[in-house]
Structure 1
Amino acid sequence: MLIQLLTQDPVTFFVLALVLIFSLVLHELGHGYAAYFFGDDTAKRAGRLTFNALKHLDPMGALLLLFVGVGWAKPVPIDTRRLRPYRLGLFVVSIAGIVINLTLSLLFGLLLYYLKETQPLAVYATLVEHQTAGLVGVVTLVAFYAGAINLILALFNLVPIPPLDGSRILMALLPERYHPFLWRLDRYAMYTFLLIVLDLQFNGPISRMLDWAQSTYFRTIFG
């Protein structure tokens, strides 16, 4: 997804890479701090409530994020047995990272809208003619990609398939007698990953949902 940007404008690519990596860090911090608020200090004791990206990054997940547009960081350790109250804590912890990605997407979208209104020629030259127009061009490209990718990360994580956050949200809404069965599904995480890759490759339902969300996002910004 972003490999062309790397070859065309390396400076913008590396600025964007820092922004996206920070987005992953904030996603995991959202989970960690939410768990801490509900009584689980596992992430804090593991040294994961930090802005140090090296503590959070998964090399494969970071590379896929930069070159495919969907990726992940190392999940913060959470002991759901320590959450009080359990189901509310599980819900808030699970949705916290998604809320952060949606917030980032909104902020980048507002920035892009502002640039479109105040610097229309530079934005047009950057996004339509592919001519990065100085600082405004760099900020435009970063806001464009970071907004879209944070939206994708949020919606991707909402899919209710283990071990994605959406499965935990669903679990929090279901009676606790179903939870042991749902937790056991985590052992099939690799198969889940392969199915999602195939879906994205062959334009399956998840891929179509993400495409629709992106289109709606940019239509809202650019009219």
Structure 2
Amino acid sequence: MNFLAFSWDVLPFVLIVLIIAFTVHEFAHAYAAYKFGDPTAQLLGRVTLNPARHVDFLGMILILIAGFGWARPVPVTRENFSKPRLMGIVVSAVGPLSNLLIAFVGAMIFSALSAYGILNVTMVDGTLFYTEELSRVQEAFALFFVYLIQMNILLFLFNLIPLPPLDGYRIIEDIAPLRIRRKLQQIEPYSIFIFLLIVFIPPLRENTIGRMYVWIGDLMQLFLDLGASIFG
């Protein structure tokens, strides 16, 4: 009996990809904040690519069981920025953008390996099509790239959802005028309940997270098509 959100045969690839994705995401937040003059994350040892500093064990377990989870959030003291709102937007945005960059680079590498016959496999809408029988090593590499691209696009889109404590909410909070920010702050205590409603009520899930999965496929195919055009 499998109680996980992923099958046992792909679990190692999912774990590796999540560790990479969470680590780079949180490092991007910490590094940007440090460069903008906030030493909070640096003093806590978060300006590092060491996964142990960023991966949250409970959040990792939950994403494997339920399909969603979290890493350890990077503490940011916006008052240390010379331009708190502008720099706050950048610090919030670089996390999701780092995941999008990983997905793009992964798609380019996959396209190059396919074009030069190293993998002998193509990918359409996240499905692998083998042009010839692959060795176990080749198949492992192919599966790794599938999940590297998919999971990082998922994290990019998921973190842009405008609900606290996600990055999308922090970006809107910094962009919005004061009266809107005050109204947004009033819903913060209820954000977890709103999120659970979105996840577990089918009509809401279909029109939010369901659409997000369509966008994942579209973005993934866009990157792969671009890679195919570059590498032939």
Fold equivalence (TM over 0.5)? yes
Q: How big is each residue's C-alpha offset from its partner over 1:20-74, in whole Å with a ceiling of 9 and x where there is no partner?
A: 2121011111111111122211111122222222222222321243455543201
The alignment's TM-score, normalised by the length of structure 1, stands at 0.82
Report the equivalent of 1:102. 100
**SS of residue in 2 equivalent to 1:127:** strand
Unaligned runs of 5+ residues in structure 2 are none
Determine the C-alpha separation between the residues in 2 that align with 1:121 and 1:45: 43
Deviation at 1:202, TM superposition (A): 6.6
TM value normalised by structure 2: 0.80
Say yes or no: does 1:3 pair with 2:6. yes
Which amino acid letter does the alignment assign opposite residue 127 of structure 1? L
Partner residue, 2:136: 134
- What CA distance in whole angstroms lies between the structure 2 residues aligned with 1:107 and 1:200? 34
Distance 2:23 2:29 in 1: 10
The CA deviation string for residues 137-168 of structure 1, in whole angstroms up to 9 with x for no partner, is 11111111110110010011111122211111
Pick aligned residue for 1:219 from 218, 221, 232: 221
After superposition, the Cα gap between the structure-2 partners of 1:121 and 1:106, relative to the gap in structure 1 and judged at 3 Å, is: closer
Residue segments in structure 1 that go unaligned for 5+ positions in a row: none
AA matched with 2:219: Y
Query: 2:118 and 2:215 mapped to 1: Cα distance?
Result: 24
User: How far apart are residue 15 of structure 1 and its match?
Assistant: 4.6
Structure (1/2) with the larger helix percentage: 1
What value does the CA root-mean-square deviation take over the aligned residues?
2.9
**In structure 1, what is the Cα distance between the partners aligned to 2:46 and 2:203?**
33
Q: Is the 8 A contact 1:200 1:207 kept in 2?
A: no
Instruction: Using the TM superposition, give the Cα deviation of residue 218 of structure 1 relative to its aligned residue in structure 2, in angstroms.
Output: 4.0
Query: In the TM superposition, what are the counterparts of 1:147-186 in structure 2 within 5 Å?
Result: 147-186=149-188
The aligned runs of 1:1-223 (5 Å cut-off) are 3-4=6-7, 6=8, 8=9, 13-67=11-65, 69-119=67-117, 122-123=120-121, 127-128=128-129, 133-198=135-200, 203-220=205-222, 221=224
Give the whole-Å Cα distance in 1 for the aligned partners of 2:22 and 2:71.
Answer: 6
% same residue: 32
- Structure 1 168/14 Cα, relative in aligned 2: closer, same or farther at 3 Å? same
- C-alpha contact (below 8 Å) 2:30/2:46 kept by paired residues: yes
Amino acid at match of 2:143: L
In the aligned structure 1, how far is the partner of 2:145 from the partner of 2:172?
31
Q: Which amino acid aligns with 1:96?
A: V
Contact 1:48-1:76 at 8 Å conserved across structures = yes
Tell me if the contact between 2:113 and 2:119 (Cα under 8 Å) persists in the aligned partners: no
